[in-house]
Every structure is written in C-alpha cells, then in structure tokens.
Chain A
Amino acid sequence: MDWLGPVIFLAVLVLVGLYGVVIYNNLVSLKHGVSKAWANIDVLLKQRHDELPKLVETVKRYMSHERETLREVIAARNEVEQAREHEDVKQVGRAEGHMRESLMNLFAVAEDYPELKADQSFQQLQQRISGLENSIADRREYYNESVNLNNVRIEQFPDVMVARMFNFGPFDLLEFAEAEKRDVDMGNLFGS
C-alpha cells in the first residue's frame, strides 16, 4: 500500500491545478467586466457627443453674443471625444469635468434668455442631456466598482500568483474633479 501517499499527493496536485484554472477564469471575467462597464459609459458619451451640436445650434439662434460660452462647450466636447477615442480613462475624467463645467456655464448664461427657455426643442434637449448625465454618473459608479473588484482581486492571495503569472494588471478609476462631480441640475438652473 505504498501507493496511497502518491495518490493523495496527485489528487491534491490536480485540485490545486483546477483551483488555479478557476482563479484564472475569474480574473478573465473581472477583466471583461471592466471592459463591459467601460463600453457602457462609452455608448452614453457617444450619444451625448451627438446631442451637443443640436443643443449648440438651438442655443445659437437666441444667444448670438455668447460665442465664447458656446466655444467652450464645443472645445470640451472635442476634448472628451479625443480622450474617449484613445480610451484614456484619466483624461476622460478630466475632460468630463470640463464638459460639465462648460455646460453649467452655458445654462447659467441661458437664464438671461427667456425665449430660449420657452423653446420646445431646447427643453427636450435639456431633458435628454440631463438624463444622459445622470446615466453617465450611475455607470461611472458601476465602472469604478468593477475596477475596484479587479484591482483588489489581483492583489489578494492566492489570486496574485496567477495574476502575476499571466500579467493581469490594474485599471484606472474614472474620477471627476471634486467641484465637477455634481450632477448638472438643469431644472434648478432654470428655476423650474
């Protein structure tokens, strides 16, 4: 019966191997989870990117003397788009901050134009962009939770061994500057 020891050893070895496979598969799932969470933000950024020119065009009809404010919105839009295309999460965070700031400025200035406030298409765009901003904020939370789960997992034992062996790395959090984290509350801006 000298074989019992090797049999147990072999069984333990097989179990350890299988556990390694489970860890590897989980790390792959976490990585894809982060990509999926980013794709979910990306689609909203694209939608907002498409909506903003309509907003600018509508606003331009009433605010012809506020070229600088509108230029800021367009610049911020382009900045977000560039960062998004390069999948540079940190830069998206910074650009998103500028975007929100410029939108707040735009709507603060729009306060002085009652005809613009009454415009139907402006109201619809305001509602649409407000909804997109809320969804981006929700999905940012979801993305950051996915990133945290991944980043914590790849540093925990025994996952860290598999993570290092197969080069599973951390992801950047999507952070907006503190002053720029506020939701763009267009309802309040217009006192409606």
Chain B
Amino acid sequence: MQEHLAAVSQWARSLDQSDFRLITLVATIFTLVFFALFLQGLRRHRIIADTPTARLRSAAQGYAEIKGWAEAFEGHPLLSPLTHSACCWYEYRIEREDRDGDGDTSWTTVASGRSGRPLMVHDETHRALIEPRGGDVVTRHREQWYDRKGGLNIDIGPVELGSGRRHRYTEKRIHDGEPVYALGNLRTLDEGAMADYFTPLMKDEPAGPLVEAARNQARRSEPMHVLEKHRDRRRPFIISTDGEGDLIKRYRRQAAIFFVLFWFPFLALALVLLGRLG
C-alpha cells in the first residue's frame, strides 16, 4: 500500500503544470458535483418523508404535499406529440446523433417541449391544478426509441430532423386516472386571482378547454387551488406518478450512490495535491 502511494506521489510530482491543473480542475468539479448530488438526494428524501399530506378541501396555504388522481382538463385529454397517446400531461425530446472526426458520438437536442396546460388532480375532497413549470416530473409512462428515417408523423410543427441521421425520441406522459404525488407551493385563487391566472394561459389556447375551464370554475364559484414552484429554490417542486415510498427510496438511493462516488474524485484530488506538495 505504502509503495503504491509513494508511486502516486512520484507520479503527481512528475506531472507538468498544465496536466496538474487539468487533473485538479476535473477532480474538483467531480468532487463538488457528486457531493451536491449526494446532499440533494439526502435533502429531498428528508423533505418528502417529513412533509405531511394535505387534503385539498382544506389545504393549508404554502409548501404542501398533496396526493390525488390525474384527470383530463375539463374532460379534454391532450394528444402527446410523438406517440399520439391521450394523456393529461406530456414532455418530449428529439435528439440527433452526431459523430466527430474520431468517431465519437454525441446527442444534440433538436426539439423538446412540455404541455403548456396545467395538470388537474383530485382527491376525495376537492380538485386542484398543478402548474408543472419548473417542476421535476417523474412519470411511469416513459418511452424512448431510435429511428434513422426522421420521417415520423410528429405533431410538433416544423422541425428539421435531417434524413439519414440517427435520432432518439423520448416521451413522458401522465395519463387520466393515474395516481399523482406532488410537493410544491399551494395557493388558493379567488375569482379575481383566477382570471389573472387563466388569462396568460389562454393566449396559447384562445378557444380551447382552458376557456371552458375558466367559465366552469367561475360558475362553480368555489376556490381553486394551484400547486406551483415555491419561491424558495431550496424547496423542491416534484410531480410524480410514483408513490411517496418510491420517491423516498429513489432519493435515498441517489444519496447513497453519490456518497460512494464522491470519494473517488475526492481521494484522487487529495493524492494529486498532497503528492505534489508533500
């Protein structure tokens, strides 16, 4: 062991200045990134486990956790752009495979997007809208496939895919009736606030279900809850069709994996720095 460490020390001393800087920089970046991801997993796991579930009927204002079922917006489901599946929410990405002179491949995103409509959920007591902008969305329905033709019947407007290149298509969806777990900032809109909320959304969809939703909501004259990203960026905004238990496991696993990974660049950094200086 001692011999190996001495060899590493010798090697660190023999590095020229530019290699030394590069290795130090790369190891520092990886150390910090892995450590940040470890802390993120740890924090999220604790926040999810430590936040009680609010019922929508009497939902407390502020950072809250809700559980319910997704429903098509005022009975109007969306059609996802890549697979044309009926859903309540979607996100898609199309990437093109590029090769450099050495034959190394990389993926460049040529088109991506999310459904602009809020997601409607209900529990046993009431309904709420989830405004997914800025949220981490975890879905059970996630499809990914590859295609060389670039000639699919895709409903996303004019996109130059370029024939002959390999493309990767990814689509995530939330379907009607799926259980939804969400953690974010909950606020209740009165009638005036509701108009302010729906007006900018209606610009994208002037005669669609959003108008109908706004009218129906006004007719019901009951408050509308909206769950959205919290102003405090440290508080995660999570929307998931996986249950609370699965999410806790997921973030605990993230913390464990990055805790282990953290040690590799950290020790490499320590070896190079102290070998050089020692």
Contact = CB atoms under 8 A, between A and B. Distances in A.
A84 B138 CA distance: 41
Given A7-B274, A135-B57, A149-B50, A1 B9 contact: yes
Interface stretch (B38-46, B78-86, B141-149): B38-46
Interface string B258-278: 000000001100110011001
Interface string B236-277: 000000000000000000000000000000110011001100
A77 B17 CA distance: 79
B53 interface: yes
Given A1-B2, A1-B5, A1-B278, A33 B55 contact: no
A149 B2 CA distance: 49
B50 A30 contact: yes
A1 B6 contact: yes
Given A135-B58, A142-B60, A3 B278 contact: yes
A134 interface: yes
A116 B151 CA distance: 73
A142 B42 contact: no
Interface in B1-47: 2, 5-6, 8-9, 39, 42-43, 46-47
B189 to A, nearest CB: 17
Interface in A1-31: 1, 3-4, 7-8, 11, 18-19, 22, 26, 29-30
A134 B50 contact: no
Select the residue from B55, B62, B125, B271 with max chain A CB neighbours within 10 A: B55
A3 B278 CA distance: 9
Nearest to B46: A26
A95 B193 CA distance: 37
Contacts of A60: none
A134 B58 contact: yes
B54 A142 contact: yes
B60 A22 contact: no
B50 A26 contact: yes
A49 interface: no
B52 A7 contact: no
B50 A33 contact: yes
- Determine chain B's interface SS by DSSP, over half rule: helix
A146 interface: yes
Given A22-B42, A142-B52, A3 B274 contact: yes
A46 interface: no
A136 B60 CA distance: 11
Contacts of B51: 33
Interface string A19-55: 1001000100110010011001000100000000000
Contacts of A3: 274, 278
A139 B59 CA distance: 8
Query: In this complex, which of B5, B46, B54, B58 has the most chain A Cβ atoms within 10 angstroms of its Cβ?
Result: B58
Nearest to A153: B50
Contacts of B9: 1
A145 interface: yes
A101 interface: no
Contact of A7 (B2, B49, B270): B270
A134 B125 CA distance: 10
A8 B264 CA distance: 12
B42 A4 contact: no
Contact of A138 (B5, B8, B43, B58): B58
A175 interface: no
Contacts of A29: 47, 50
Given A22-B39, A134-B58, A135-B58, 9 more contacts: A1-B275, A18-B39, A22-B43, A33-B50, A36-B62, A40-B60, A44-B58, A139-B60, A146-B52
